[in-house]
């Protein structure tokens, strides 16, 4: 019986997260209420508050859990979260490894793009959320720096900023690919992005 209750709790929480993401996408963060999310999940405001103290807490869970899951990021005592495959890819420093990692990551863009966009919108409304997406980005930057450190490439003072540049490129392309008219195909975009990372990190 206890296992069934736990399974039901996990399911309800997932329903609320999914409904929150859908409502934020449809209405925007500012216009979405707790009642909107609860109704979309087929539950009540009371149930929502049993899982999340606010819609901001739900937004934090989307970033901490679903964003990290989509990118295979795991909890890390050093950085908050770590993508071991990113660290290993940067440490390997080959075009083949970087190409494979970028292509895997690009496949996750449809899942991560809305969470990042909503997180940035939410930060304007709720200052307590302002650090969330940027903190998550800093964790990814640290992975790049850690990979460069493992490989002992570049001077120590360069490694973090190399991560800043690499992740800024990736984030900008991820957020705008499909909306912008850059006059290149998807395959050309991937090749250019990989070439840029290789030039920057290798």
Other CB atoms within a 10 A radius of the CB of residue 107 amount to 9
Side-chain-facing half-sphere of 106: CA atoms under 13 Å:
18
Looking at residue 43, its pLDDT comes to 94
Quick check: helix, strand or coil at residue 41? coil
pLDDT score of 79 more than 80? no
10 and 24 in contact (C-beta within 8 Å)?
Answer: no
Looking at residue 189, its pLDDT comes to 96
Report the CATH fold assignment for 55-201: Tetracycline Repressor; domain 2 (1.10.357)
Instruction: State how far the Cα of 166 lies from the Cα of 164, in Å rounded to an integer.
Output: 6
User: 63 or 22: which carries more pLDDT confidence?
Assistant: 22
Looking at residue 188, its pLDDT comes to 97
Looking at residue 6, its pLDDT comes to 84
pLDDT score of 53 more than 80? yes
For 161-182, b where at least 16 C-beta lie within 10 A, e where not — what string? ebbeebbeebeebbbebeeeee
pLDDT tens digits along 99-121: 999 999 999 899 888 888 898 88
89 and 71 in contact (C-beta within 8 Å)?
Answer: no
The domain made up of 1-52 is a member of CATH 3.40.605.10: no
Question: What are the residue ranges of CATH 1.10.10.60 in the chain?
Answer: 1-52
Question: What are the residue ranges of CATH 1.10.357 in the chain?
Answer: 55-201
Quick check: helix, strand or coil at residue 81? strand
pLDDT score of 134 more than 90? no
Q: Which residue has the tokens 């920057």?
A: 200
The band of 1, judged by pLDDT with boundaries at 50, 70 and 90, is low
Give the pairing of strands 74-76 and 80-82: antiparallel
């Amino acid at each position: 019986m206890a296992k069934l209750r736990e399974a039901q709790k996990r399911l309800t929480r997932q329903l609320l997260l999914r409904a929150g993401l859908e409502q934020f996408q449809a209405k925007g963060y500012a216009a979405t209420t707790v009642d909107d999310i609860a109704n979309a999940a087929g539950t009540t405001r009371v149930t929502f508050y049993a899982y999340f103290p606010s819609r901001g807490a739900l937004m934090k869970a989307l970033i901490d859990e679903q964003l990290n899951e989509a990118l295979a990021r795991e909890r890390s005592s050093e950085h908050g979260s770590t993508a071991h495959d990113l660290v290993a890819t940067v440490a390997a420093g080959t075009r083949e490894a970087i190409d494979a990692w970028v292509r895997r990551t690009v496949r996750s863009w449809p899942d991560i793009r809305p969470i990042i966009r909503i997180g940035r919108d939410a930060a304007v409304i709720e200052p307590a959320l302002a650090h969330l997406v940027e903190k998550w980005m800093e964790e990814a930057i640290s992975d790049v720096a850690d990979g460069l450190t493992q490989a002992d490439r570049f001077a120590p003072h360069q490694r973090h900023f190399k991560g800043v540049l690499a992740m800024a490129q990736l984030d900008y392309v991820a957020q705008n690919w499909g909306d912008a008219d850059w006059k290149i195909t998807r395959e050309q975009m991937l090749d250019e992005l990989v070439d840029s990372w290789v030039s920057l990190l290798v």
